[in-house]
A and B are shown apart, each in its own frame.
Chain A
């Protein structure tokens, strides 16, 4: 992996998560949706000085309120947990989902705080109309090299929801799969929940 890209990788990984649908009223085509929301998010970040200065708490609040309700977290979590998901009790499933959500929000916010004057460009979308699941490809352009940023969306009712994000060739949920199953294998599902909670608590207090 060209490590040079890791910085923008993490930026875009969470940027991608954040741009997860906002205008869910009309049946907007998924790619138009992604473009609209991505631009929206980037504009909001550019306009807010305290975000530019790196106020992660502010970004977390913004993201939590506006953006996260539109990501299909259950699917993301169950996909990352894999076959163990069915073995988990509803209570455990809820806890997993909550902790994973916090993790993703923080990842998103942390990276978003590093955004400066980027724009989003949509790439031609493949797939047939009528697909229930699509991949929308975009590119983040700005300083440095363009960053590949793809989304997997599924149709939910009249809208679309994101259930995975690809940055520079890495699908985020897939990347957590091995980590999760490794932890479950070692310490069980409760062990994973504990580890996630610990990671979330620790990150909240890491000095920058």
Chain B
């Protein structure tokens, strides 16, 4: 499973070229306005979303529920910390790419502190010192560089993304403790653990989501797009002009322009 950097770059280029041509051609306005304008592939996305939901309901959620019951809170916290630590290193890289030196430095300090004093990231010592996560990823970097989000796309297993953010997926996924391990089986185990752990953390939220969303697909899509826009602007996204209500469903089955 160990993929080289070159392979990752090629994969990113492949995704980029296939999606950019399709996705960006239909999306002139990258403001992130009414969800329907950014979801020209809604029919496909809904199918994948449905697939993911089933997979979740029958496979992932039961496992995560058992995990949450059986694994003590401090162990789960440690698992969270180890994965967050790897994410900090990647966040540092992205902060540099975005020219945000202070956050980059903070991330580097976080990573080194937690790796050394925090014993390989198990303890989140840096947070005690007041250093916070920055959660930067490559999709945000591209956003900062001026790329609009492009069309919304739901990937099997991975879940919601956009054309722009998808370019970063191979890199974002690589930023994991699994990089350090040569043994293929162990790498799978680590990835599996990350997935289950994340799902366990979201059990309460997903229950609530079922209650409050009229249409889970639409609700999640819009939340995802808003959230990504906010992340690119680091929490200070300028207000969008008041978007008119989305056009009636006839428009969504119309062919993209």
Interface residues on B, range: 35 or more
Distance A83 CA – B249 CA, assembled complex (angstroms): 16
Is B215 on the interface with A (CB-CB < 8 A)? yes
Looking across the interface, which residue of chain B has its beta carbon closest to that of A82?
Answer: B245
Which of B36, B214, B228 has most chain A Cβ within 10 Å? Answer: B214
Q: Chain B: interface secondary structure?
A: helix
Asked whether any CB of chain B lies closer than 8 Å to the CB of A4, the reply is yes
Q: Which of B133, B212, B215 contacts A145 (CB 8 A)?
A: B133
Q: Which of A26-34, A62-70, A103-111 contacts B (4 or more CB under 8 A)?
A: A103-111
- Nearest residue in B to A144 (C-beta to C-beta)? B80
B155-211 CB contacts (< 8 Å) to partner A: 159-160, 198, 201-202, 204-211
Pairwise interchain contact B218-A178, C-beta atoms closer than 8 A: yes
B246 contacts which of A7, A10, A146, A181 (Cβ < 8 Å)? A181
Q: Determine the residue in chain A with the shortest Cβ distance to B240.
A: A174
B197 CB, nearest partner CB in chain A, Å: 10
Question: Of residues 99 to 125 in A, which have CB atoms within 8 Å of B's CB atoms?
Answer: 103, 106-107, 110-111, 114
CB-based contact B219/A179 at 8 Å:
yes
Beta-carbon contact of B211 and A114 below 8 Å: no
Chain A 3-58 interface residues, beta-carbon cutoff 8 Å to B: 3-4, 6-7, 9-10
Cβ-defined partner of A7 (8 Å) among B202, B213, B230, B248: B202
Question: Are B205's CB and A10's CB within 8 A?
Answer: yes
- B213: chain A residues within 8 A (beta carbon): 179
Instruction: Give the residue name and chain of the B residue nearest to A192 (CB).
Output: B214
* In the complex, B53 has a CB within 8 A of chain A: no
Which residue of chain A has the shortest Cβ distance to B220 in the bound complex? A1
Nearest chain B CB to A39 CB, angstrom units:
21
B132 touches which one: A1, A107, A146 (CB < 8 A)? A146
Interface assignment of B244: CB less than 8 Å from any CB of chain A: yes
Q: B17 interface residue, CB < 8 Å from A?
A: no
A-B contact number at CB 8 A? 123
Residues of A within 8 A of B160 (CB): 1
Q: Contact at A110–B226, with CB atoms within 8 Å?
A: no
Residues of A within 8 A of B35 (CB): 178
- The answer to the question of A203 belonging to the interface, with a C-beta cut-off of 8 Å to chain B, is yes
Point out the residue from A110, A170, A182 that lies within 8 Å of B211, measured CB to CB: A110
Closest to B135 in A: A2
Task: Decide if B34 is an interface residue (CB 8 Å cutoff).
Answer: yes
Given known pairs A4-B198, A169-B237, A170-B226, the reply for A114 and B245 (CB within 8 Å) is no
- Main SS of chain A's interface residues? helix
**B61 at the binding interface (Cβ < 8 Å):** no
**Other-chain residue from A9, A84, A110, A195 in contact with B214 (beta carbon distance below 8 A):** A195
**Closest B residue by C-beta to A186:** B249
Complex Cα distance, B202 from A79, in Å, reads: 29
B215-A179 in contact (CB<8A): yes
The smallest beta-carbon distance between A99 and chain B, in angstroms, is 11
Question: Which A residues are CB-close (under 8 A) to B59?
Answer: none
Q: Is A196's CB within 8 Å of the partner chain B? A: yes
- How far is A176 from B237 in the complex, measured between Cα atoms in Å? 19
- What separation, in Å, do the CA atoms of A183 and B160 have in the docked complex? 22
Interface residues of B in 58-115 (CB under 8 A from A): 80
Question: In the complex, A40→B234 CA distance in Å?
Answer: 29
Indicate if the CB atoms of B215 and A182 lie closer than 8 Å: yes
Of B160, B213, B237, B246, which is in contact with the most chain A CB atoms at under 10 Å from its CB?
B246
Are B246 and A145 in touch, CB under 8 angstroms? no
Q: Are A178 and B36 in contact (CB under 8 A)?
A: yes
How far is it, in angstroms, between the C-alpha of A186 and the C-alpha of B214 when the chains are bound?
A: 13
Is the pair B208, A110 in contact by a Cβ cutoff of 8 Å? yes
* Pairwise interchain contact A185-B205, C-beta atoms closer than 8 A: no
User: Is A163 part of the binding interface, using a Cβ–Cβ cutoff of 8 Å?
Assistant: no
Knowing A83-B244, A107-B212, A177-B243 touch, does A3 contact B229 (C-beta < 8 A)? no
Assuming the contacts A146-B132, A206-B210, asked whether A175 and B222 have C-beta atoms less than 8 A apart, the reply is: yes
Question: Are B244 and A82 neighbours in the complex by a CB distance under 8 Å?
Answer: yes
Question: Can you list 12 A-B contacts with CB-CB less than 8 angstroms, sorted by A residue number?
Answer: A4-B80, A6-B202, A7-B201, A146-B132, A169-B226, A169-B230, A169-B237, A183-B215, A185-B248, A185-B249, A186-B249, A199-B211
Write the residues of chain A forming the contact surface with B, with a CB cutoff of 8 angstroms: 1-4, 6-7, 9-10, 81-84, 103, 106-107, 110-111, 114, 145-146, 148, 168-171, 174-186, 195-196, 199, 202-203, 206, 208
